[in-house]
Amino acid sequence: MRDKIVVITGASTGIGAAVAELVAQRGGTVVIAARREAELRAVAGRCGGRAHPIVADLTVRAEVRRVVEESLARFGRIDVWVNNVGRGITRPPSQLTDEDLDEMMLVNVKSALYGMQEILPHFKQRGTGQVINISSMLGRIPYVMFRSAYNGAKHFLNALTASFRTEVEQTHPGIQFTLVSPGVVRTEFGHNALHGGPDSRKLPDSQSAEEVASVIADLIEHPKPDLYTRAGWHDRVVAYYAGLGQDP
Name the residues annotated as catalytic. Answer: 150
List, in order, residues 6 or more apart from 143 with CB less than 8 Å away.
137, 240
The Cα 80–Cα 115 span in angstroms is 11
3-state SS assignment for residue 113: helix
126 CB burial (10 A radius; 0-12, 13-18, 19+): middle
**Number of Cβ atoms within 10 Å of the Cβ of 15:** 29
Contacts of 215 (CB under 8 A, 6+ apart): 180, 227, 229
Kindly provide the residue ranges of all beta strands, DSSP E only, lying in the chain, ordered along the sequence.
Answer: 5-9, 29-34, 51-55, 80-83, 129-134, 175-181, 226-228
Could you tell me if 81 and 132 are in contact, meaning their C-beta atoms sit under 8 angstroms apart?
yes
Q: How many secondary structure helices (H) and strands (E) does the chain include?
A: 8, 7
CB 184 within 8 A of CB 206: yes
- Structural contact between residues 158 and 139, judged by C-beta atoms closer than 8 angstroms: yes
